[in-house]
Homo-oligomer: A and B are copies of this chain.
Amino acid sequence: MPYRASSLTEGQTLPDTARETTLKRPRARDNRQPKLALGLLPDLIGYSLRKAQIAVFQNFQNAVAPHDITPGQFGVLILIRENVGLSQSELGSAVGIDRSTMVAVIDRLESRGWVVRAPSPNDRRSYALELSPAGTALVEDLIPRVRAHERTMAKDLNKQEQAILIDLLNRVSRAS
């Protein structure tokens, strides 16, 4: 595999702002190489969002380790599993990508033997997507790993904070 999506042109390091918890901690290691001035970036939600996104993506890859699958592919597998008979176009508009883009997405999942393009009973133009037995087994195997990954990413947040984070993120999503 070539690349391995890492970060993006957004800035990586971050100066420690906010959170005065555990005041009396003896200034433990905080050796993330800052050095660079970040200007207004640390105040932007998009900037923090992007950094968190990168961290989550990379940890996901490790968490599902033996399997080579991206968070996006996992999402598609879940949607197919939860909505049997979905067509490519429906799936595409659900995840917000063009149907021409969805072709290659399904191609990859199909060539790995996880997804089947079954004929749609009603409409001969479209497929009824479904998981193969291997795809079903894969998802079963992935779910506990993904849950463990989730616990890792949220390990410094208590239950309430996790719920708050998701709620705040959802409100940002709806704000645009």
Contact = CB atoms under 8 A, between A and B. Distances in A.
A155 B167 contact: no
A56 B60 contact: no
Contact of A37 (B59, B82, B162): B82
A163 B45 CA distance: 9
Contacts of A166: 17-18, 42-43, 45, 48
B167 A164 contact: no
B8 A44 contact: no
Question: Chain A at the B interface: mostly helix, strand, loop or mixed?
Answer: helix
A120 interface: no
Given A36-B82, A38-B79, A48 B156 contact: no
Contact of A46 (B18, B79, B153): B153
A163 B18 contact: yes
A161 interface: yes
Interface string A127-155: 00000000000000001001100101111
Given A9-B75, A37-B82, A156-B172, 6 more contacts: A39-B81, A41-B78, A51-B173, A53-B53, A59-B175, A165-B169
18 contacts: A6-B96, A9-B72, A14-B170, A17-B166, A39-B78, A40-B143, A41-B75, A44-B146, A44-B150, A46-B53, A46-B56, A46-B60, A48-B165, A49-B52, A59-B175, A153-B172, A156-B171, A165-B169
